[in-house]
Amino acid sequence: MKTHVPVTSAKETLSQKQRRMRTILHGLNQAYPDTTLALNFSSPLELLIALILAAQCTDERVNAVMAIVRRKYPTAKAWAEVDHKSLEQDLRSVSFYRNKAKAIRACCQELVTRFNGQVPQTLEELVSLSGVGRKTANVLRGNAFGQPAIGVDRHVGRLAQRMGFTTQTDPDKIEDDLNVLVPDDSKVRFCHVMQTHGRVQCLARTPLCDTCPVRSSCPYPT
Ligand code: SF4
């Protein structure tokens, strides 16, 4: 029979929450020592394209498509200037490929005209690009440019709620809450282990709490 031991409450102070965050991070790092971003990339541009393709599509599918097309489109100019039908054909195995082909061309046209073909590094510049939201911008900042940034995807958001690190549902506000709890030098790593934990243990419908490595620090199990 499960016993419920509350590990957090409305009275949990910021420093207690930060300490609990460090404990959970330590546990997840031990559980997933080799985990990293699931999308393959060798340049900021490749990661940007992969992130646009990854919306409502599996990372495995995106990696497979990128492995084929990356040499064909080595620059933003190449993505921007390709004939639309040809690009659709190249991306057809990805979900919503028509819309994504349109978004990639529009984004890369802006890269060419506004940023000399380079992917910019600031949050403000990144979110000013077509098809780039805050999550994509932060994943890029963290993984392509080594900046302390938290990209709140569905796994990070769901787990942060269950773990009692936020009561927010808006991803931007969840990001704000997490930014004060996760040390800068762990922010990118935090996202990787949370995503992996969300995929294999803290599942959306039924989290596997009984075997969870951070159960003793999580208020969710009842
Ligand atoms: S699996 Fe359960 S105990 Fe583990 S983090 Fe998710 S909700 Fe908490």
Domains of the chain, start order: 14-36+150-217 (1.10.1670.10), 44-145 (1.10.340.30)
Contact (Cβ atoms closer than 8 angstroms) between residue 136 and residue 164 = no
CB within 8 Å of 182: residues ≥ 6 apart:
21, 25, 150, 190
Task: Provide the CA 214 distance to its chain's centre, in angstroms.
Answer: 21
Q: Using the atom order of ligand 1, give the atom closest to the CA of residue 218.
A: 8
Residue 222 pLDDT level (bands cut at 50, 70, 90): low
Q: How far apart are CA 54 and CA 52, in angstroms?
A: 6
Q: What pLDDT is stored for residue 11 in this prediction?
A: 83
The CB of 212 under 6 Å from ligand 1? The reply is yes
- Pick from 159, 209, 210, 211 the residue to mutate for probing ligand 1's pocket: most ligand atoms within 8 Å of its CB: 209
Indicate whether 151 pLDDT > 60: yes
CA separation for the pair 103, 125 (Å, rounded): 17
Alpha carbon of residue 122 to chain centroid: 17
Mutating to test ligand 1, I would choose from 212, 216, 222 the residue with most ligand atoms within 8 A of its C-beta, which is 212
Q: Is 17 in the pocket of ligand 1 (CB under 6 A)?
A: no
Question: What pLDDT is attached to residue 191?
Answer: 98
Ligand 1, closest atom to CA 201? 1
pLDDT tens column, 80-127: 999 999 999 999 999 999 999 999 999 999 999 999 999 999 999 999
Give the pLDDT score at 4.
37
Q: Which atom of ligand 1 is nearest to the CA of 208?
A: 1
DSSP string, 38-50: SS--SSHHHHHHH
Q: Calculate the alpha carbon distances from 124 to 158, 160, 191 in Å.
A: 26, 25, 21
Residue 152's φ and ψ, nearest 5 degrees, are: -90, 100
DSSP 211: G
Q: How confident is the model at residue 10 (pLDDT cuts 50, 70, 90)?
A: low
Cβ neighbourhood burial of 20 (10 Å; 0-12, 13-18, 19+)? buried
Q: How far does Cα 100 stand from its chain's mean position?
A: 18
pLDDT in tens, 31-55: 999 999 999 999 999 999 999 999 9
